[in-house]
Structure 1
Amino acid sequence: MTREVAIGAVRLSTELPRIVAAGGQAALDALVAADGADLVELRADLFDDPRPTAVVAALERLRTAGRPVILTVRAAAEGGRPLAEGARRELYAAGLAYADAIDIEIASTALASELVPRAHAA
């Protein structure tokens, strides 16, 4: 049996979602204007200035555009910018109340075990 998962109003098991992903603040305008996108993915690790306040501001702006938002903060080994694990944790923690979902690679076990329960509670 397939378990239905929803991010915002998009049901992932029954629909083929159109996800627009972009990295950083420079692409924020494109994400806000992304016509036809069901979901947007914000790659906070690619921000020019990856601070929690910048991530929250970007997530708030995307939320006003009316689309569900996935927050992603990749490690360098996962194709992201070299950020300390503590910095990644801070970015995720700052965005939990604003993102509809978070994307954490399974290899980031410590980060996932700490943040996934917090995300479910948010």
Structure 2
Amino acid sequence: MSWGRIYGLLLLLAVQLAAGTEDALEGAASRQRNEDCTAVVPAEETLLVFSTLGGGLTAIDPMTGETRWSIADEPAIRVPSLSEMNPHYLPDPRDGSLYTIRNPEGGLKKLPYTIPQ
């Protein structure tokens, strides 16, 4: 056996050992993360967590129906209110007439054209 071949085998063995050690370290770190995550709530305690329309969270015990905790918060999504300056158009389904609301004159106003036109 030549020195080059022995050197190659030793290098291959070192790479395999390094890869195995790295995998073992990743596995230990993963187990530690799982333990940290499950250590927050005991295994025997089960909660149902609901998101409310107002943006809050509420946790309820499924066996007793008791509220365990609740967090009030702002809604995640807000719909802009209707602008007072922009006109809104309403069709009349009977004859296709168009009406505008919130026009500069105020109130509901019939437009001089229809949907078919």
Identify the TM-score tier after normalising by the shorter chain: under 0.3
If asked which structure has higher relative contact order (CA below 8 Å, sep 6+), I would say 1
Instruction: Please report the TM-score for the alignment, with normalisation by the length of structure 2.
Output: 0.20
Greater fraction of residues in strand:
2
